[in-house]
Amino acid sequence: MPNNSVSIKEVLDSGKFTLYQIWICTLCFLLAFFDGFDLSLVGVALPDISEYLNSTSAALGVAMSAGNVGALIGAFILGMMADRFGRKNMLLVSAFTFGIFTLAIAFIQSVEQLIFLRFIAGLGLGGAVPNALAFGSEYAPSKKRATLATTMYAGVAIGATFAGLFASYFLPRFGWQSLFLAGGTVACLIGIIALISLPESLEFLVKRNTNIDKSRIRKIVSRIAPLYGTDNNIDFVSSEKRLAGVPFKHLFKDGRTANTILLWMAFILSYYLLWLILSWTPTLLKKSGASSQEFSLAFACVNMGAVFATVLIGILMDKFNPLKILKIGFFLAFISVFIFGYFASSSFIIVAVFSAIMGFFVIGSNSGLMGLAAISYPADIRGTGLGWATGVGRAGSLLAPVAGGLMLTGNWSVNYICTTNAILALVVILIIFIMQKVNSK
């Protein structure tokens, strides 16, 4: 009989970050990658889809929002289901759902079909990132959790960057359909790899604690900390107190109410600004005179800047006060969106540079919010916390495509659209300032 208890936190913090843990985080990164790739495909392809379907910007804005409605529902449902039925199962559901239905978009013949398929694909997209971040974070040493969470989230930005680069070559040669055929197929392949090689969350297995789970736990621990895994006298226990009842209610218990509400408010505004950029940057640049290859490359630059910011902000949040880092990030996001709007009709080189700067600060700061959510909740409710934060945040992403479409239909200038919406980054700073005051009490 085991006579010594060791927590999962002790196992993860006991030694080096192993190749096995790196592989797990890499798979989570790849799932986030194809989330970003598939999310960005519609934005990049939107001008060509508009011509193919002979549709207006306002109608396509509804189609974009339909995907975000699905993502909102998916984030809520799949996040909570992951806390009850396991992260791996819900990650696989997410991956195959957004892969299969993204593939199907290549065959649309109407805006209505695009709306339907974006909604279903959105269900998977909504569950992919919060579950991938929660899953990867639970295999990370505690001192590296924010860094690894934001690094995995960088997969979204890298995927979106790749979508822009991929589109710049394939869009003019093979048409917009080729983007969805490739994106959906490879996403399903990643899902198959995850099915075969991804373990279940250690914290989840420990808390479920069946006889089969005990064997699986020891096998996984042996690959992370062999000295613990091969000692049959050790009983592995959860790092955190088990929270009884429905996970959702614990988001508002033990002093978490104010932080949860404020975090949701910040996510809504941040997602709005993020999705305004992801949905309409190619169209805004086309309005300013860019060719399909130029706006695809500029869109890639938006996300390329975000890649570096996403990794950097996690490192800074682990070293310094996370809320102070986020305040600086969102202030620079405000400046960058304003400047992008001013220079949107300049030469391609200038547009590309300011696109990268805007992506660096806007998407990087949004990544910082993901990292903050990942470290704000205990393991029992981490999937629920991340799911609800991103799900509520999707309310902003619902509004952004429609709002952008209405602004373009109303013939707003690119400069005016960017200047007006950049102000929201300042409101996020105010929310973070209030969070700081709440936490200092």
Question: Which is more confidently placed, 316 or 143?
Answer: 316
Residue holding tokens 């509400």?
Answer: 261
Mean pLDDT of the residues in the chain = 78
Q: What's the pLDDT at 430?
A: 92
Residue 35 near residue 165, CB atoms below 8 Å: no
**121-130, 185-194, 394-403 — which is least confidently predicted?**
394-403
Establish if 215 belongs to a structural domain: no
Question: Which is more confidently placed, 66 or 282?
Answer: 66
Establish if 220 belongs to a structural domain: no
The pLDDT tens digits of the residues spanning 134-147 come to 778 778 777 777 67
Establish if 177 belongs to a structural domain: yes
**Per-residue 3-state assignment (H helix, E strand, C coil) for 237-248:** ECCCCCCCCCHH
Q: What's the pLDDT at 76?
A: 72
Distance CA 301, CA 305 (A): 6
Establish if 235 belongs to a structural domain: no
The pLDDT tens digits of the residues spanning 241-290 come to 555 545 667 777 777 788 788 888 888 898 888 877 766 677 666 666 66
Establish if 324 belongs to a structural domain: yes
Residue 337 near residue 358, CB atoms below 8 Å: yes
Establish if 226 belongs to a structural domain: no
pLDDT bin (cut points 50, 70, 90) of residue 69 is confident
In terms of residue numbers, what domain contains 277?
4-205+241-440
Residue 418 near residue 337, CB atoms below 8 Å: yes
CATH code, 387: 1.20.1250.20
Residues 325-330: what's their mean pLDDT?
Answer: 88
Establish if 222 belongs to a structural domain: no
pLDDT of 112 above 80: yes
Percent of the chain with pLDDT over 90: 2
Give the H/E segment covering residue 6. Answer: strand 4-7
Residues 349-373: what's their mean pLDDT?
Answer: 79
Question: Which is more confidently placed, 123 or 279?
Answer: 123
Question: Which is more confidently placed, 416 or 303?
Answer: 416
Core vs surface per residue 246-257: b (16+ CB within 10 A) or e: ebbebbeeeebe
Question: Which is more confidently placed, 77 or 379?
Answer: 77
pLDDT bin (cut points 50, 70, 90) of residue 231 is low
The pLDDT tens digits of the residues spanning 146-186 come to 677 777 777 777 787 777 778 778 888 888 888 888 888 88
Neighbour-count burial of 167, counting CB atoms closer than 10 A to its CB (0-12 exposed, 13-18 middle, 19+ buried) = buried
Structural domains counted in the chain = 1
Distance CA 301, CA 355 (A): 6
Distance CA 98, CA 180 (A): 11
Residues 306-310: what's their mean pLDDT?
Answer: 73
Establish if 327 belongs to a structural domain: yes
The pLDDT tens digits of the residues spanning 174-218 come to 888 888 888 888 888 888 888 888 888 777 777 776 666 677 878
pLDDT of 1 above 50: no
Question: Which is more confidently placed, 2 or 171?
Answer: 171
Q: What's the pLDDT at 209?
A: 66
Percent of the chain with pLDDT over 70: 84
Helix (H, G, I), strand (E, B) or coil at 234: strand
